[in-house]
Amino acid sequence: MKEISEILKAHSQAKAAGKKTALATVVKVEGSSYRQPGARMLVTEDGLLTGAISGGCLEGDALRKALLSIHQQQNKLITYNTSNEDDSEVGLQLGCNGIVHILFEYIDDEVVNNPIQLLQQLELQRKDAVVATVFSLKRQATQAGTVLFYRENEAPIYGNNTLSDILEDAKEALSTKTTLVKKLLDEHENEVLADYINPPVSLIIVGAGNDVQPLVKMASLLGWEITIGEGRATHATKKRFPEAKQVLVVKPEQLLENIIIDEQSYFVLITHNYKYDLAVLKLLVNTNCNYIGILGPKTKFNRMLDDLNNEGIQLTNEKLNNIYGPIGLDLGAETSEEIALSIVSEIKAVMSGKQGISLKYKTEKIHSTTNTSCLI
């Protein structure tokens, strides 16, 4: 979501400056690739790039293709065979061992519900959604592009295409929370990328000490929305945490009154005040929060559980599985910066359903393959 937010901001600035733009989207991948379907990059007519469609190896040629799309005011589908290190057509030695299909869309700001306007719908509320892009690998085919925005219990928003088939695919992607690439049974050999997109991560940090500052900086680099909650007015200030979306000076019982907890909410208890942390934990165990990280040794965590139990609060195994104490991955962290890295890494692993092992020891592919199938 961070990439999309940066693209929307860059487009707004380009539009204000009277600059034309094109949107590049990875719509399909065969084999291995640095970026997966749904990766996007905005290109302005003066060559400014926002976002990424590869690790940097495709961007140079993609810039030229995007500028051509802007000049001709047409959508274009370009295929890069990155498995061929001697690819004379592209002139790049990529060695990613895969085929990447990228759709370049000219952004006409006069067209209602153009691709950028469809992406803008994502920022209107904190709910997951699907953005559908129709493309064809057939030579000389007309590329429909990004044509649908869908969110549950809301009317779908269409661009320049109202194919009912893609709405069903969007609904499937949303229900399975998975990005899909599917073939459509039509004469144009069209396919659809139904890109499932979550709202940004909401990181709520309970505490505002000096050790919180590197954690906020690292989380902001990932595009996470950060809330700081703390009882000390001298510590919880916007000046100390400029990257935070909001900084609250609150008592424990007031904290949750200012926060919406959803599937993308992650809590870190790091006040160094046992009673404050315990009071917040007592409130959080009655919510649907999927992650509660507690800074401190195992003895502190066990003491907190004992205190909860003495107050008649017995946690189920499901609740206990969502509490991480001590917090963080075992990286040998000691400094505040290293501990922040450990915490951010654990949260990322939890949200991805991973164990945080070295990629060296993985026997399967690094990236899970986007679900691809034919529409039946």
Q: What is the CATH number of the domain that holds 229?
A: 3.40.50.720
Q: Are residues 223 and 115 in the same domain?
A: no
Cα–Cα distances (Å) from 250 to 6, 287, 328, in that order, read 31, 19, 25
pLDDT at residue 99, rounded to an integer: 87
Q: Are residues 61 and 132 in the same domain?
A: yes
CB environment 154-186: b (16+ within 10 A), e (fewer): eebbbbeeebebbbebbebbbeeeebbbbbbee
Measured distance CA(361)–CA(167) in Å, rounded: 40
Domain contains 360: no
Cα–Cα distances (Å) from 313 to 251, 254, 284, 309, 329, in that order, read 21, 20, 12, 5, 28
Domain end point (choices 178, 197, 216): 197
Q: Are residues 184 and 74 in the same domain?
A: yes
Domain contains 182: yes
Q: Are residues 51 and 153 in the same domain?
A: yes
pLDDT at residue 376, rounded to an integer: 31
- CA 253 to chain CA centroid, Å, is 30
Beta bridge partners of 246: 227
Q: Are residues 229 and 130 in the same domain?
A: no
- Is 222 within 8 Å of 2 (Cβ atoms)? yes
pLDDT at residue 90, rounded to an integer: 47
Cα–Cα distances (Å) from 282 to 175, 204, 264, 304, 342, in that order, read 32, 16, 20, 9, 25
Residue 103 CB burial class (10 angstroms; 0-12, 13-18, ≥19): buried
Measured distance CA(166)–CA(285) in Å, rounded: 40
Q: Are residues 182 and 238 in the same domain?
A: no
Measured distance CA(320)–CA(302) in Å, rounded: 11
Q: Which of 233, 177, 175 is nearest to 208 (CA)?
A: 233
Q: Are residues 286 and 233 in the same domain?
A: yes
Q: Is 290 helix (H, G, I), strand (E, B) or coil?
A: coil
Mean pLDDT, the chain cut into blocks of 10 residues (376 residues total): 92 96 94 84 94 82 92 93 57 62 95 94 92 91 92 90 78 94 84 94 96 97 95 96 96 91 94 95 93 96 95 92 95 96 96 87 68 45
- Is 250 within 8 Å of 206 (Cβ atoms)? no
Q: Are residues 282 and 318 in the same domain?
A: yes
Measured distance CA(255)–CA(250) in Å, rounded: 6
- Is 201 within 8 Å of 351 (Cβ atoms)? yes
Phi first, then psi: give them for residue 359, nearest 5 degrees: -60, -25
Measured distance CA(93)–CA(62) in Å, rounded: 15
- CA 282 to chain CA centroid, Å, is 30
Please count the structural domains in the chain. Answer: 2
Measured distance CA(152)–CA(155) in Å, rounded: 8
User: Which residues in the chain belong to E strands, given as ranges?
Assistant: 21-31, 40-44, 49-51, 76-81, 98-107, 129-136, 145-150, 157-158, 180-183, 190-197, 202-206, 225-230, 246-249, 265-269, 292-294, 323-324, 371-374
pLDDT at residue 374, rounded to an integer: 42
Q: Are residues 138 and 252 in the same domain?
A: no
Domain contains 16: yes
Predicted model pTM:
0.81
pLDDT at residue 93, rounded to an integer: 45
Run of H or E including 35: none
Phi first, then psi: give them for residue 224, nearest 5 degrees: -75, 145
| 255, amino acid identity | L
Give the side-chain half-sphere CA count within 13 A for 370: 25
Measured distance CA(24)–CA(42) in Å, rounded: 6
Kindly write down the DSSP assignment for every residue of 331-372, as one continuous string: S---SHHHHHHHHHHHHHHHHHT-----GGG--S-SSPPPEE
Q: Residue 243's CB: how many other CB atoms inside 10 A?
A: 15
Q: Are residues 132 and 151 in the same domain?
A: yes
Domain contains 254: yes
User: Which residues in 233-334 belong to E strands, given as ranges?
Assistant: 246-249, 265-269, 292-294, 323-324
CB environment 309-333: b (16+ within 10 A), e (fewer): eeeeeeeeeebeebbbbebbbeeeb
Q: Are residues 170 and 258 in the same domain?
A: no
- Find the domain containing 213 and state its range: 202-352
Domain contains 366: no
Domain contains 369: no
Domain contains 269: yes
Domain contains 228: yes
Domain end point (choices 147, 181, 197): 197
Q: Are residues 186 and 271 in the same domain?
A: no
